[in-house]
Structure formats: structure tokens, C-alpha cells
Structure 1
Amino acid sequence: MPSVNLRHSVRAIILDEDERVLLCRFTIPEPVGTVVWATPGGGMEPGETQLAALSRELQEEVGLVVTADPPHVWHQEVVAPGHAEGYDGVINDYFLVRTAAFKPRGTLSDDQLAAECISGLKWWHPHEIASYAGTDLFSPRDLASSLTTLITAGAPAEPTWLGL
């Protein structure tokens, strides 16, 4: 069986006191016009721990400083050529970060965010995601139900495996 080259990424489910989740609006170049709302985070650098990568990504994208080791709540593997440039897919590990609401603004400039395909940031209630009728996508696709379960049941003892 050929080996698969997957990009290892860390992502944060940032929940505020009103159970809203902070999502990044990714405008994907191909196919043109694809917009995906996903949790902040990104790829791990060689030799970087998950917490170090998560801390770096959150400071860069949304301006949140994470000092404690948040619970690892979800795990996702997507093997799909073209899903991550230069890779056969991604491994996403999601961590739960609870915080007071804040106005997100990371250390990256608008041009740097655009280079990462990030075109906006927004707080969403799970019911807004569930009832969304537009053309934008959410990642993971079952984000609303996964969030509702996480909020209702709390962090699982072992990370929950997610689909696409």
C-alpha cells in the first residue's frame, strides 16, 4: 500500500460565554467561489508540539493567547488529493478553548491573512450554523451537531473521530 502524505494541523473550537464559536471564513481559490467557515488553526511546523502550534496559530489568526493545555476533543482525517496543497489530505486535531467574547484580530496583516485564504472572522451560535441556508460550507460538514454535542455533553475522555 503506498504511503499517504497528510498535513498535520491543529484547530481550536473557541467558545465564548454565550456558547458561540469563532470561525474563520476561508475563500478557497479552486473551485472559484468556494467559501468554507472553519475553526482557526493550521499546520504544525517540524518539531513543533500541538500546544505550541495551536498557540502560534491562534495568536496569528485571531489574537488569542493560549497558555493552558486545552482538552483534545475531536480528531479528523481527510484523505483527498487537492484538499491541502502539496499533500494527499489532512489530519486535524481540535482543541476546546473557552474564553470571554473578544474582537478577533491576530498578528497577521490583512494581506497575510488573505495569503492564508482567510477573508473574515465571525462568532456563530450552533443554531445559526444548523439553519444556514446560503452557499457557504462549514468544516467539518456536521459542525452544528458536533458543537451541540460538545456543549451539551462536555469534553469527551478521548477525542471523537469526525467525518469530512
Structure 2
Amino acid sequence: MLGVAGGGVLDSEDRVLLLRYDENGGFWATPGGSLEDGEDHATATLRELREELGTDEKTVELGAQLAERSKDHLVGGRKVRQAETYFLTRVSAADVDPARASQPDNIREHRWWALADLRATAETVYPLGLAELVTSVLVHGAPVRPVVLAG
């Protein structure tokens, strides 16, 4: 099993930060990536934000775990079950500096999305159901137990 940590990154205007990738026909996704040896999900999330967004951990507010998802896919030609964990993460838009990113990992674009735009887009966004999850958290607060997201 491959552990992956990610953040639902919101700014003070409750916009969601997504990253665009070209592979598999192109898609948008939350920041995140694989856990390193001995790393927990929260620590991995902060590291991934630093590596992909150029943030400073002191300016990131890491909140509750919001969701999890399991997915099978190919990694290096072999089938791997990936277990993903998503945290609510708050950061000022001004503190995101892709020029400081140490591992941009084929990221083609960064964009802050208003929830209305995220709900209305025809583009592929991962994880599926992200707009509904963020809306629920903003209205009701973080879930008592992480929401299980679809593939």
C-alpha cells in the first residue's frame, strides 16, 4: 500500500488551490504526494506544500483530517493500492510562491478556485467530490470522522 497525504488548501476567501497536470488527458488536483519513510500524514502534507507550492510551514495552518480515499493504479508498471489522506489546510494566497517550489513535479499551473467555479467546471478535478466536501466543511465544520471519497 502506498500512503499519500494531501491538503485541501483554502485561502482567507475560501478559494481552493488546485494544481494542473497534463498527463491522462489533463486534470486538476489538490497538492500532495507520497509519504517518505517514517513520516506521518500531517508531516507529509506540510512537506508536500513546501515542495510543490513554495510555502513556509510557519505560514500554513494544518487543520483536521477531512477525507480519505483508496485507489488502485499502476506505478512503474505494477498495480498499487494508494491510500490517500486529505487535511483542511489554510494558507494566505500571498504565501504561495511556486518559484520557491523545490519539486514542482510536472505541475503546469496553479489556480485559486471559487467554490462556484469548482462546482461548475467541466474539467476533471481530483479528488472527486472536492467542491461538495469543502462546502460541507465550511457550513458544518470538519467531520467527526474522515469522509470516504469515491475513486
Q: CA deviation at 1:102?
A: 2.1
1:19-41, CA deviations, whole angstroms, 9 ceiling, x for partnerless residues?
A: 1011111221xx4xx11111101
| Cα offsets for 1:35-67 (capped at 9, x unmatched) | 111110110011112222112111111122335
Aligned-pair CA distance for 1:103: 5.6
Gaps of 5+ in 1: 1-5
Q: Does 1:45 align with 2:32?
A: no
Q: Which stretches in structure 2 are left out of the alignment for 5+ residues?
A: none
- Report the Cα distance in structure 1 between the residues aligned to 2:107 and 2:149, rounded to whole angstroms: 23
The whole-number CA distance in structure 1 between the counterparts of 2:91 and 2:84 is 21
Bigger helix fraction: 2
Counterpart CA distance in 1 for 2:34 and 2:43 is 11
Q: Which has the larger radius of gyration?
A: 1
Query: Equivalent residues in 2 for 1:14-53 (5 A)?
Result: 14-28=9-23, 31=24, 34-53=25-44
Which residue of the other structure, out of 101, 108, 122, is the alignment partner of 1:119? 108
Q: Structure 2: how far apart are the matches of 1:130 and 1:138?
A: 10
**Separation in 1 of the partners of 2:126 and 2:21?**
10
2:48 is matched by which residue type in structure 1?
Answer: E
Structure 2 residue 118 is the aligned partner of structure 1 residue 132: no
TM-score by length of 1: 0.79
8 A Cα contact 1:7 1:90, kept in partner: yes
Structure 2 distance, partners of 1:13, 1:122, is 13
- Look up the SS of the partner of 2:143 in the other structure: coil
Is residue 89 from structure 1 mapped to residue 91 from structure 2 by the alignment?
A: no
**1:100 Cα offset (Å):** 2.6
When normalised by structure 2's length, the TM-score is 0.86
Find the residue that maps to 1:22 and give its secondary structure: strand
Q: Does 1:160 align with 2:151?
A: no
| Alpha-carbon shift at residue 69 of structure 1 (Å) | 5.0
- Cα RMSD after superposing both structures: 2.0
For the pair 1:65 / 2:56, whether they are aligned, the reply is yes
Task: Write the distance in 2 (CA, Å) between the matches of 1:101 and 1:69.
Answer: 15
Asked whether the 8 Å contact 1:7–1:87 carries over to 2, the reply is no
Contact map agreement 1:11 1:42 (CA 8 A) in 2: yes
* 2:5 equivalent to 1:10: yes
State the Cα deviation string for residues 138-157 of structure 1 (Å, max 9, x = none): 00122222221122111111
The answer as to whether partners of 2:15 and 2:112 remain within 8 angstroms in 1 is yes
